[in-house]
Amino acid sequence: MMKKSLKLVTLFAIILAASCSQERMDQKAEETDERIEPVRTMTLDYQTVARSVEYTATLLAFEEIHMAPAAPGRIEKIYPEVGDRVKKGEMLVQMDRTQLHQAEIQLKTLEADFRRFDTLKKAGSIPQQQYDQLKSQIDVLKANVEFLRENTRLHAPFNGVISGRYYESGEVYSGAPSPLTAKAAVVSIVQIDRLKAVVPVSERFFPLIKIGMEADLNIDTYPGKTFKGHVFRIHPTIDPASRTFSVEVAINNQDNKLRPGMFSRVNFDLEEIEALLLPAIAVLKLQGSNERYIFIEENNRARRIGVIMGTRYNDDVEVISDELKPGQKVIVSGQARLLDGMAVEVVE
C-alpha cells in the first residue's frame, strides 16, 4: 500500500514538472513572437519661447476728420473729389464770403475812427471811457473777422485722402448730419499712410502690455505676409461687460497696401517662458474625443501619457502634463501604430 502511494506522488511530481516546463516554453515562445515596433525619439527639454496672444480687429484710418464750417451757408467751391490726395494746408472748400467782406469793411471803418480817436485822446478832447469802448469794439470785430476767415476757407489738417464729399459746389450747407457719417460735414479726409487697429485685450494681460510694444498683423488679403505695428496708446479703463481694455496699434502704410476696413489678426508677444515643446505630429488625438496623448520610450517599451496642448509655435506645440520631465525620450515617429506597453526599438 505504501509503495502504491509513493508511485502516485512520484507520478504527480512528474506531471507538475512537465506542466511548468510547458508554460515556460509557451511564455518564451510568446516573448519570441512579440512584435517590436521601430520608432524614432527626441529628448524632451525646456525651451525659452515668447508666449503670444492673438486678437481680431478692423483696420482704421489713423486720423479721420469730417470738415464743415461753424455755421450754415452757401458753398462757393469744393475743390477735391473723392479719392484725391491732399496735402496739409491745402484749401478744400471755399464758402460764401459775403459776411466776411461785410465784417472786414466794418473793421476798416472802426480802425479809421480809432486812429482819429487816438489823436483826440492825446489832445485830451475825448474821455478815456469812449476811447476804451471803441478799442473793445475793434478787438471783438477782429476776432469775428478771424473766425469768418477760418470758416469760409476749409484747409486740410494733415496729408490724407478725401474719403467723402457730401455736397456740390453752389449748394447750401445746412448743418444737418450726413446720413453716411451721422456727422455734419461737407467733406471727410482720412490719413492712410498710417493706420491703426483698436484691439480689445483680456484684462489679465493688462500688466504685460506696454507702450512701444511690437505687434504682428496678418491680413487675409495678403496670405503669408506679416505686417509690423506697435502699441501707441493704452486705454486706462476695463470694460466691465467684456472684461477687456482697448489697445491702439499703429501700422506704417507708406506703400499703401492696406486700407481702412480690412480685417486683421493682431499678435502680441507678451513674455518669455520656459515650455516643453514637441513637434505637433508627435501629439495624437483619441478618436471621438478631445483627449490628446503622446508616447515616451522607457526600457524599450512605449508608455502612453495624456497631455494638454498649449500654444502653438510654427510646427511645434507646447505640451503640459505632470508626468512629463526633461530628459524623457518622446516618440516622434512610428507612434501611430503603438499601444500602451508595446515593445519598441529606437532606430536612428
Angstrom distance (rounded) from CA 308 to CA 71: 64
Given pLDDT bands bounded at 50, 70 and 90, which one contains residue 27? low
Is residue 126 helix, strand or coil?
Answer: coil
DSSP string, 167-216: --TTPEE--PPPTTTSS--SEEEEEEEEEEEEEEEEGGGGGG--TT-EEE
Question: Other C-beta atoms within 10 Å of 74: how many?
Answer: 13
Angstrom distance (rounded) from CA 62 to CA 189: 11
Give residue-wise pLDDT tens across range 132-164.
787 888 888 888 888 888 889 999 999 999 999
What's this model's pTM, rounded to 2 decimal places?
0.60
Angstrom distance (rounded) from CA 286 to CA 266: 32
Nearest CA-CA partner of 191 in 265, 250, 264: 250
In the predicted model, is pLDDT for residue 3 greater than 50?
no
In the predicted model, is pLDDT for residue 10 greater than 60?
no
In the predicted model, is pLDDT for residue 8 greater than 60?
no
Q: How far apart are the first and last CA of the chain?
A: 69
Pick 30 or 299 by higher pLDDT.
299
Task: Write down the mean pLDDT value for the chain.
Answer: 86
Give residue-wise pLDDT tens across range 73-127.
999 999 999 999 999 999 999 999 988 889 888 888 888 877 877 777 776 677 7
How many helices and strands in the chain, by DSSP H and E? Answer: 3, 19
Nearest CA-CA partner of 283 in 273, 293, 268, 269: 293
pLDDT reported for residue 33: 61
Nearest CA-CA partner of 306 in 298, 297, 296: 296
pLDDT reported for residue 154: 93
Angstrom distance (rounded) from CA 117 to CA 133: 11
Give 3-state DSSP helix, strand, coil % of the chain, rounded to 5.
Answer: 25, 40, 30
Given pLDDT bands bounded at 50, 70 and 90, which one contains residue 190? very high
Given pLDDT bands bounded at 50, 70 and 90, which one contains residue 17? very low
Give residue-wise pLDDT tens across range 200-223.
998 988 988 999 999 999 999 999
Query: Are the C-beta atoms of residues 206 and 238 closer than 8 Å to each other?
Result: yes
Angstrom distance (rounded) from CA 116 to CA 281: 95
Query: Are the C-beta atoms of residues 320 and 276 closer than 8 Å to each other?
Result: yes
Angstrom distance (rounded) from CA 102 to CA 106: 6
Q: What share of the chain has pLDDT > 90, as a percent?
A: 53
Q: Enter the DSSP assignment of 343.
A: B
